Structure 1
Amino acid sequence: MSHLQGCLCPQHLLQGLVNQGQRDNRLELHQVSVMSALMDGVYEGEMTLAELFGKGDFGLGTFNGLDGELIAFDGEAFQLRSDGSARPATGDQKTPYAVVTFFEPQLTLKVDSPVSRRALHHDIDEQIGSANVFCAIRIDGHFNRVKTRTVVRQVPPFRPFTEAVKQQPIFDFSHATGTLVGFRSPDFIQGIGVAGYHEHFITEQRQGGGHVIDYHLQQGSVQFGIISRLVVHFPKGEDFRHANLTPAFLDRDIRRAEH
């Protein structure tokens, strides 16, 4: 039984995209670098947040040196730090990996009964109706619990991501009101991006948050919309040029690190 109040069948949702016409360019997903580069320790990027937000003002990512998690929405961007705190991000900060869009939700639904992350993802999957499309997601509400992590800032020589996350602090936000920003990506994108759900959270007071490991939503609103195009901006540095982007256990390592 779905916890989402409302229904829009996949055919109508996709037809809505066709009718967008000239607005279709706002359904692009812009990504800085690729996830396999981050996994291999490419933690320094060239793109500033000011440049990034010219391509999309809603999304998530990280900062140079893995110095915290990025979350952006409503014209604001925040740096979620390894001590569990949050602070406004600045335009001159750079990112080695980020994913942004101009958020255009095709559907807003209400959650009026408690639901787990896994169950809510199942409901969203049913509404979308296809495993082969990208989806941007925003959840505003009251969470019984949000479990997050934030990697500690790294210094050269950089370790692979799987090593860096072994020391990541874990935080539990109990009875917290806040906003969750995320993307659902198809399995075929693994290594380019993160397959499945990738979500970041920040409290309503903008005082804390992080990369989401799990949550339990008490009540709130869920907005989501399909993305029509993916644009990847590849780094130009030597570390990217010489990175191992096709390691033997890439899928396993990303799932362990991100989920």
Structure 2
Amino acid sequence: MARTLLTDDIWQQIQETMRFHGCYCSKNSRNIMEAILWKLRTGATWRDIPEEFCPWKTAYNRFNRWATKGLWDKFFLKLRGSLDQEWVFIDGSYIRVHQHASGARHGFKRAIGKSRGGSTTKIHLATDANGLPIDFKITGGDVHDSQVAEQLIDLVDSADYLIADKGYDAEHIRASARNRKMISIIPLRSNSKRLNPDFDKYLYRLRHLVENAFARLKHFRAIATRFDKLARNYQSMVYIACLFIWCKAK
């Protein structure tokens, strides 16, 4: 008997969201969702999905179709609970890309880059004061955190404090935060000669919350190692993981 993850309460939330977005709900929709979660949790190939859930191709086709339509991010944003945006944390984390993720068709975004660890993808994540995901961006591993910071700030939209490590020590990032009426808690680089009057050591120590969020995401093996060829499919897997983290937190 394959292990399942969906409780009646979580499935009810997901099913209501599916109906809200006009998704087709078949008799075996719950089993199909369990099959997708099994793939997310184990990182195994689609063909290895236990037959007791559904045929593997049924699970893959539904996942891929909804990823193409951009529905997984809509599900996450709909199911995401109330955000505590007194403190917002941003950070990036490298994801090792398996060799099976190579070979995407020309014209499709891959979000794979070369870094010290070889082929990698990077998740740029924003979390709220409880360490729960607000939203994220996917890039190649060769993209520096500071290059995506303003996009994350736009996703966050509003907060009292923006907390990040010294990799985000750049004036354009601080200016972007000020424009959103956020106070930047970002340490200066060692060679910086500027003053940093807003820096708060206590708040900066709370930055472990975003690291904890990455640790929770990487409990899902399909997130910890990337096997998906297309950026949109890997991004959809991350959205499902974030969705599940929120459902468990409610």
TM-score by shorter chain over 0.5:
no
Between structures 1 and 2, the one with greater helix share? 2
Higher strand share: 1
State the TM-score bracket (shorter-chain normalisation): under 0.3
Work out which structure has the larger RCO, using CA pairs closer than 8 Å and 6 or more positions apart in sequence: 1
Give the number of the structure whose alpha-carbon radius of gyration is greater: 2
